[in-house]
Amino acid sequence: MTTAEQTDEQKLLRGVFRSLTVVAVIVISGAFFLQDFNAAASAAIGVLFVALMFGGSAAILAHVARSQSQFLTGAGGVVALAAAAIIRLPVYLLALWGLSRVAWVHPRSLAIAVVIGIVVTLVYELRLVSALPRLFWIDTSVVQPTVTATDSRSEPL
């Protein structure tokens, strides 16, 4: 793995976890002040769950980025990104459903924290991944000519 690849993946992880930390402080504080300790604990569980699910998704994207197989890169970058999002959403729903049945969990705080966390991670993930052309099998080392080709133009008569 090259230094640029490490930097891109580390940048993705650092940025998302920094964003989630800010979100966690705001959401947990808001839940505590608007409800009680159980709401704050529920919000913390929600943000932690989003962070864990994102970590798994980031590991898949990092594997695709390191892969030298054209099947796994190319369209695989888009497929991995879409599959990670599609797989995460039902898992979130199942977890929310299961945790909402626990007596001390405040379901609204949990759901709000998870929704905000999902939005923050998806926005950051899409923004940074769209800037990583190697996930889509684009060779950035190929230099495009800067001069317009004139051999296909018709000359004035």
Residue 7 structural domain: 3-136
Give a yes or no: residue 102 inside a domain.
yes
10 Å CB burial of residue 46 (0-12, 13-18, 19+) is buried
pLDDT tens for each residue of the chain, 157 residues long: 455 555 666 777 787 888 889 989 999 999 999 999 999 999 999 999 988 888 887 777 777 666 655 554 455 666 766 777 788 888 888 888 888 888 888 888 988 998 998 888 888 777 766 776 655 555 556 656 566 656 665 666 5
Structural domain count, the chain? 1
**Rounded Cα distance, 114 and 43, in Å:** 8
Q: Is residue 96 a contact partner of residue 111, using CB atoms and an 8 Å limit?
A: yes
In a domain, 148, yes or no: no
Is 73 a domain residue?
yes
The reply to whether the predicted model has a pTM over 0.95 is: no
Q: Which of 3, 2, 4 is nearest to 131 (CA)?
A: 4
